[in-house]
Chain A
Amino acid sequence: MKGYELFARTLKDLRLGPVFGNPGSTEIPMLREIKDYVLTLHDSISVGMADGLAQYTGTPSVVNLHTLPGVANSMAFIHTARLNRSPVVITSGQQDNRHVYYDPLLSHDLLSLVGDAVKYRYEARNAEDIERSLKRAAMKSLEPPMGPVFVSFPMDVMEEESDYLGLAWKYPNTALVDMNEVEYVAKCIEEAASPAIISGSEIDAYGSMEDAVNFAEKVGCPVYAEPLSSRAGFRSDNHRFAGDILPATTAMNMLLMKNDLILNFGGDFTIYPYLQSPLLPGKKVITISLSPSFRYGEFITGHPGLFMRELTKIVKPKGDFQRPEDLSTGSAAARERRTMGVNFVLQKVRKKFHDYVIVDEAISSSVAVRKNLGYRDRSYFTAKSGQLGWATPAAAGISMKNPRVLEIIGDGSLMYTVQALWTISRYNLPVKVLVLDNQGYSILKSFSTSFYPGVEKAPFLSFKTDIVKISEAFGVETREGDESLDELDWLAEGETARVLVVHVDRSIPKLFF
C-alpha cells in the first residue's frame, strides 16, 4: 500500500472521521483516499469542530491541518482542546524530506510549534510509521487527561510503500479506584464539621452524573460546580446543587467560608483574575481526579464517578443541604423586559430550548446563561481557555451527533470565526445560533470598570457590525428579534441552521470582585 492509502485505512480502522480541515498543497497527497472530509474556511475552525464533536461523543475526532500556516493558525484552538480535555487527533502535512535541508516554502519544525499544547507529537519517518503513530496518537488522546495529539506526515512518506499490519489497539481503561483512598475520604468526611463538594467537568465527561447525584443525596452536603468549568459538573435542578464557584480566590473563600473540608471530584481550581487572598487557607482540600493537577491540596488519582459510587456505599450522612428555592429569575426577567436585559432574553430562551445542548460563548452573559439555562448531562459546553471564536465551530461539531444544539454567543465572539457559518450551511448542520448583540466587548468594559476605571469608554472596546448581512452571506437564514422575542419560535423551527440576533442591554454588568 502507498502511504496515503495506509493513512486512510488506519483512520477507517480507528473509526476516525470525518476529517475536518482546510487543505493546502502539502496535504493534497495524503488526502487522496479520504472520502469523508468536512471543509472549513479557516484552519482553526476544523479544530473547534473536532473539539466539540470529541467532547460530545467522548471519543477521538480527527483534523487535518495545512502544515506551518494551518497549525499556527490553529494554536489557540489546540490549547483550548487541551484545556477542554478533548481527544482530538491532529494531523498535518510536512515538506518533502528530500529538500527540507533547503528550508523550502512552508517548512518548519512543526513538533516545536505545537509544543506542550498536545500530549503526544510525532513526525512520521517512513510509511511504517503511519499506522503505528496514528494508533498510538488516538490511544494517547483518550489517556487521562484526555487531550489533543499531533502527527505530521512529510509528503514523500505518502508515496512510500508498506503493508497495513492491522496492529492491535484499545482505548485506555480509566476505571481506577483505590479502595483504601475511598475509606480515607469517608473518614475525612466523618471527622469534618462542614464538608462541601465541588463537582467538575470530569463528572460529565465520564458520564458520572448519576453517581454524583447519588453521592450528594447520601452525604447531604452542598454541591458546587467547578469554577469556570468547560461543561456541566452537576445537575442544576438537583436540590443539593448550591451554584457555581466564582474563579477569584476572594470570592471562593467567602463562599466556602464555613466549610472545613472541600472535596473536589473531577474538577480543578481555575483562577482569574489575580486577587491577594490565598486559595482556601486553613481548609483540607482533597481532589479526586483521573488527571490531577497537583496545584493545591491533597490529590487522589482515580475515576471520580466510580470513586463516588464506592464512597456512597460507606459514607455517613453529614447534613441535609437543600438549596433555597430561587425566586429571583422570574422577577429579574420581568424587570429587564423593558431594557432587553439578558435575564429577560434567557428566560424566554429557556422556555423554548430547555432540552437543547447549550454551547456558550456569550462571555459577559455567561453567568446568566448558566443560571437561567442550568446544567444537565452533556448539555453545556464552553471553552475552558477563555479564547473567543470557539463556540460556533464547536456547536457545529456537536450538531453532527445531536440536532438540538443552541449556540449562545456574543457579537464579539461570533466575529472571530464567523465563516464557520459557511460550513454549517454547506453541510446542512442544524445549529441554532442566538447572538446577544451588545455592540462591543462588554466583558472588557466590566473588567475595566472594576480595575482600570475609565478605560471602559475607550472606542476600541465598542463596535457595530451588521450580523444579519454577514450571516446571510454565508447562506444561513438570519433574523433580528424584536421586543416580543417571538422570533425564538422561528429559531427553534425545523432542523436547519438559523441565526437570531437580539440587541441586548448595553449597560456594563458588574462581573468582577
Chain B
Amino acid sequence: MKVLIILPPFLPVDDIRKIIRQILPDGEILTSTDFTEHNAEVLVATTFTRIDRNLISRLPGLKMIQISSTGYDNVDQDAVKSRKIMLCNIPAANKESVAEHVIAMALAHLKNLIHFHNEILKGNWPVLTNSMDLAGKTFGIIGMGAIGRKLAERLLYFGTNTIYYDPVRLQEEDEEFLGLKFYALEELLAKSDIISLHVPLTPETRNFIAGKQFNIMKDGSIFINTSRGEVVDEASMIKAIQSKGIRAGIDVYTQEPPDFSSDLFRLDNVIFSPHIAGVTVESQQRFITETVSNVMKYVQGLQPLYRVL
C-alpha cells in the first residue's frame, strides 16, 4: 500500500527518510505538493501542508489522510467528505507539553521573572519584590479534556487548590483522584487566582470568555489561554488587563501571526508565546510515534484511532 508523506522542508528529511525506510518500506517522502498525480492510498502530512480540493484531486486513490497534529484546520474537510476519505489526527500527544507551558506562564507571572530579567539586562538590581508562591493559590481550569486533566495532575504537586468547570462533569471518583472541585463557570471565574482555558473552538465557544466573564474575575488574577484565540474576545481581554490589572499568558491569537500593531502588544503584564505551547522536542517525538503507529494500523487493515471524519 502506497503511503505518501509530505513534510515541510525545514525538517531533517534525510534522517526521517532513513527511519521510514526501516519501518514503512512503502512510504515515500516529499517536501512539496508540486506533483501532477500520485498513486498514494494514504497521505501523511503536518499542519504546514495545505490539503485542499486541488491537492486531493491529484491523489485519485487516496483513502486515508493522517495529520500528525492535534489540529487539522489545514484540511479542506468538505473536499475530504465528498471523496469519502478517512481523516485522522493525533490528539493529546502534546498534553504534557501544554500543561507544563501553562504552569511555566503562571510561575513566570507569580515570580515576576520577566520584570527581573529586564531589570538586570538594564543594569539594575531590584531588591523589592511582590513575587508569590503558586502553592495555596486557587487554580481554575476551564475544560477538563486530556490537557485539562494533565494540568490538574501536575498541579497536585504544586499544592494549589484546583477547581474546574466543564460542560460534562467528571465522575465523583475522578474528581477525588485529581483533587478537583467542580464549579459553575461564573463561580470559578470569581474564585480563581489563576485561570487556564482548555476548550476547543466551536460555534458555541467562540468569544466564550468576553467582557462579562472578565468582569467577574478577581483583580490581578492570572489568565492563561493556550487553547484557541477565537475563544476569547481579544478587545475585552485588553480592557480587563488595563482596568483590572489582570495578568495574561497568551499562546494563541485570533489571527496567527497576529497584528503586532494591536494594543495587546503594548501591555506590560502579558507574557506571549507563538502558539507553541504544545511543541517540544518530546511532544514531536510522541507525534511521530503515534502517527507511524496509526498509519500502520490502517495499512494492516485495522481501524485507525483518532478518526475525525
Contacts and interface: CB of A to CB of B under 8 A. Distances in A.
Interface in A419-456: 450-453
Contacts of A275: 296, 300
Contact of A276 (B18, B24, B303): B24
A250 B18 contact: no
A250 B297 contact: no
B29 interface: no
B23 A451 contact: no
Interface stretch (A144-152, A277-285, A377-385): A277-285
Interface in A244-285: 249-250, 253-254, 257, 274-278, 281-282
Interface string B277-308: 00000000000010011001101101101000
Q: Could you tell me the dominant secondary structure of chain B's interface residues?
A: helix
A276 B296 contact: yes
Contacts of A339: 177
A253 B24 CA distance: 10
Instruction: Tell me the dominant secondary structure on chain A's binding face.
Output: loop
A439 to B, nearest CB: 14
A453 B23 CA distance: 23
Contacts of A250: 23, 292-293, 296
Interface string A444-472: 00000011110000000000000000000
Interface in B128-148: none
B300 A277 contact: no
Interface in B8-63: 18-19, 21-25
Given A453-B305, A513-B293, A253 B300 contact: no
B24 A257 contact: no
Interface string A107-150: 00000000000000000000000000000000000000000000
A275 B305 CA distance: 15
A503 to B, nearest CB: 14
Given A276-B24, A281-B25, A254 B300 contact: no
A276 B22 contact: no
A338 to B, nearest CB: 8
Interface residues of A, number: 18
Nearest to B19: A257
A339 B174 CA distance: 12
Nearest to B156: A338
A278 B25 CA distance: 8
Nearest to A249: B23
A443 B124 CA distance: 59
A276 B21 contact: no
B22 A451 contact: no
A269 to B, nearest CB: 15
Contacts of B18: 257
Given A276-B296, A451-B297, A254 B23 contact: yes
8 contacts: A250-B23, A257-B19, A274-B300, A276-B296, A278-B25, A282-B21, A282-B22, A450-B305
Given A275-B300, A276-B299, 6 more contacts: A253-B23, A276-B24, A281-B21, A451-B297, A452-B303, A513-B296
